[in-house]
Amino acid sequence: MTTEQHYPLDDGEGDSNPYLNVPVQFLTKEPPKCVLFGPKFCLNVPKTFLIREKVRMNRDNCFKVYDSQNTEYFKVSNPLKTMRGKHVITDINGEDLVKMKKKLLSLHPTWHLNSGPKLESRLATLVFEFTMLKKKARVYTYKYPFPHEDDDTKYEHIRPTLYIKSDNTGRDFKVFDEVTSEVYADITKRAMSGNSDVLVEPDNYSVTVNPGVDVLFMVALTLMYEYALSDIES
């Protein structure tokens, strides 16, 4: 994946990281292999994140993202006053980072990934395809200056930079480079609990992000995959 030199969330500070709670020595010092939101979301070691869904009635914090030590990294909300299909990832301090927005009236399930000061800049488009055996998605990324979220969805003139593809079980996924086939993240979907009395259901997804790969990007891709699958299954 070709890296761009304009990262909407990069704060320009070389040794601090307000988003990933890790020692500085774990931040990547090499050019990132796959980056959308900035090198500050890239580590030099593989790391596994757990995405958990809270009870479905809670729209303000419908998903939370932890690591294996139960440290919280991100929250995901579906604001009550917005149209269905809009979700916002925030950091632990409540700062909005990314907006995921469903494209209505599309042939295939399509989601946009937005950032910028008002979450208005479209950085990537995901187009999902489902068959009886496998589920896959193409990930198209836009060059700076990024199109506005209200602009027409036009990705036919660019080639996808990433692919997401499941195995035959539909529970294990890989995010990999379109050209080199290098795997950037391994995703496992976990079974849901039928116990409605618990406040937090078991981990919905386990996401292992490889070194030099944008953690926030991989988390957002996983969540949009979940939303697309939920739409199809419902």
Residue 222 belongs to some domain of the structure: yes
Residue 87 within any structural domain of the chain: yes
Q: What letter would DSSP give residue 220?
A: H
Distance between CA atoms of 95 and 151, rounded to whole angstroms? 25
pLDDT in tens, 195-228: 444 445 556 899 999 999 999 999 999 998 888 8
188 — pLDDT class (breaks 50, 70, 90): very high
Q: Which CATH number belongs to the domain containing residue 221 in this structure?
A: 2.40.160.200
Span 92-110, pLDDT tens digits: 888 899 999 988 877 778 9
Q: What are phi and psi of 72, to 5 degrees?
A: -80, 135
Give the pLDDT score at 80.
57
**pLDDT at residue 139 greater than cutoff 90:** yes
Confidence (pLDDT) at 11: 59
pLDDT at 142 over 70: yes
Q: Considering the domain boundaries, does residue 125 fall inside one?
A: yes
Sign of CA dihedral 172, 166, 178, 36: negative
Average of pLDDT values for 171-178? 91
**Enclosing domain of residue 75:** 24-233
Contact 3, 118 (CB under 8 A): no
4 inside domain: no
Sequential DSSP letters for 137-156 = EEEEEPPSSPPBTTS----T
In this predicted structure, what is the pLDDT of residue 228? 80
Q: Name the band, by pLDDT with cuts 50, 70 and 90, for residue 135.
A: confident
Model confidence over 158-174: pLDDT tens digits? 899 999 998 877 788 99
Could you tell me the two tokens for 97? 């980072």
In-domain check, residue 15: no
Question: Residue 16: inside a domain, yes or no?
Answer: no
Least confident of 22-31, 118-127, 155-164: 22-31
* Confidence label for 146 from pLDDT (cuts 50, 70 and 90): very high
Q: Count Cβ atoms below 10 Å from residue 202 Cβ, excluding itself.
A: 13
Q: What is the pLDDT at residue 212?
A: 94
* C-alpha 107: how far from chain center: 22
What is the spatial distance between Cα 158 and Cα 132, in angstroms, rounded to a whole number? Answer: 28
Spatial distance between the Cα atoms of 125 and 111, rounded to a whole number of angstroms: 6
Would you say residue 200 lies in a domain? yes
Whether residue 11 lies inside any domain: the answer is: no
**Tokens describing residue 160:** 């996808």
For 41, the token pair is: 């979301």
Calculate what percentage of the chain has a pLDDT beyond 70: 78
Q: What digits encode the pLDDT tens for the residues 57-73?
A: 444 557 889 988 888 89
Taking phi over 0 as left and psi of -120 to 50 as alpha, with beta for the rest, 66 belongs to beta
Q: Which of 96, 95, 128, 101 is nearest to 113 (CA)?
A: 101
At residue 164, the pLDDT reads 93
**Amino acid at the residue 207:** V
Residue 132: exposure state from Cβ atoms within 10 A (0-12, 13-18, ≥19) = exposed
Number of domains in the chain: 1
